[in-house]
Amino acid sequence: MNSSLIDYTLHLADNALILAQRNAEWCGHGPILEQDIAITNISLDLLGQARNFYQYAAQLMGGDTDEDKLAYLRTEREFKNCLLVEQPNADWGQTILRQFFFSTYQYLLYEKLEHHKDEQISAIAVKSLKEVTYHLRWSSEWVIRLGDGTEESHQRMLKAIDELWRYTGELFIPADYEKECGFDMQPLKDEWMKKATAVFEEATLPVPQKVFMQTGGKTGVHTEHLGYILTELQYLQRTYPNATW
Partner 1 sequence: MFNLFIKKNYYGDIPEDNAGGSTAASSSDTKHEWPLWEIFIRSKQGLDHKHVGSLHAADAAMAIENARDVYTRRQEGISIWVVESKYIHATNPEEAESLYDPANDKVYRYPTFYDLPDEVGHM
- Can you state the angle between helices 3-24 and 92-113, rounded to 10 degrees? 150
Q: Quick one: which of 33, 63, 117, 241 contacts partner 1 (CB under 8 A)?
A: 33
The yes or no reply on residue 28 touching partner 1 (CB under 8 A) is no
Q: Quick count: other Cβ atoms within 10 Å of Cβ 232?
A: 11
> Which 143-182 positions form the footprint of partner 1 (CB under 8 A)?
145
CB of 37 to partner 1, least distance (A): 5
CB of 34 to partner 1, least distance (A): 4
CB of 134 to partner 1, least distance (A): 8
Question: Hey, is 202 helix, strand or coil?
Answer: helix
Helix (H) / strand (E) element for 230: namely helix 225-239
Measured CA to CA, the distance from residue 157 to residue 162 in angstroms comes to 9
Please, which residue, 29 or 117, has the CB nearer to partner 1?
29
CB of 16 to partner 1, least distance (A): 19
What residue type is assigned to position 89 of the chain? Answer: N
Please, which residue, 1 or 37, has the CB nearer to partner 1?
37
Measured CA to CA, the distance from residue 19 to residue 6 in angstroms comes to 20
CA distances from 42 to 13, 30, 39, 61 (A): 15, 13, 5, 28
Q: CB within 8 A of 209, min separation 6: which ones?
A: none
Please, which residue, 147 or 182, has the CB nearer to partner 1?
147
DSSP annotation of 173 = S
Q: Quick one: which of 25, 76, 114, 141 contacts partner 1 (CB under 8 A)?
A: 141
Q: Quick one: which of 41, 219, 223, 234 contacts partner 1 (CB under 8 A)?
A: 41
CA distances from 20 to 28, 140, 209 (A): 15, 18, 29
Measured CA to CA, the distance from residue 175 to residue 179 in angstroms comes to 6
Please, which residue, 115 or 137, has the CB nearer to partner 1?
137
CB of 29 to partner 1, least distance (A): 16
- Can you state the angle between helices 119-147 and 92-113, rounded to 10 degrees? 150
The yes or no reply on residue 37 touching partner 1 (CB under 8 A) is yes
> Could you tell me if 90 and 163 are in contact, meaning their C-beta atoms sit under 8 angstroms apart?
yes
The yes or no reply on residue 133 touching partner 1 (CB under 8 A) is no
CB of 133 to partner 1, least distance (A): 12
The yes or no reply on residue 127 touching partner 1 (CB under 8 A) is no
How many chain residues are in contact with partner 1, going by CB under 8 A?
12
Q: Quick one: which of 54, 138, 167, 177 contacts partner 1 (CB under 8 A)?
A: 138
The yes or no reply on residue 130 touching partner 1 (CB under 8 A) is no
Which residues contribute to the site for partner 1 (CB under 8 A)?
Answer: 32-35, 37-38, 41, 134, 137-138, 141, 145
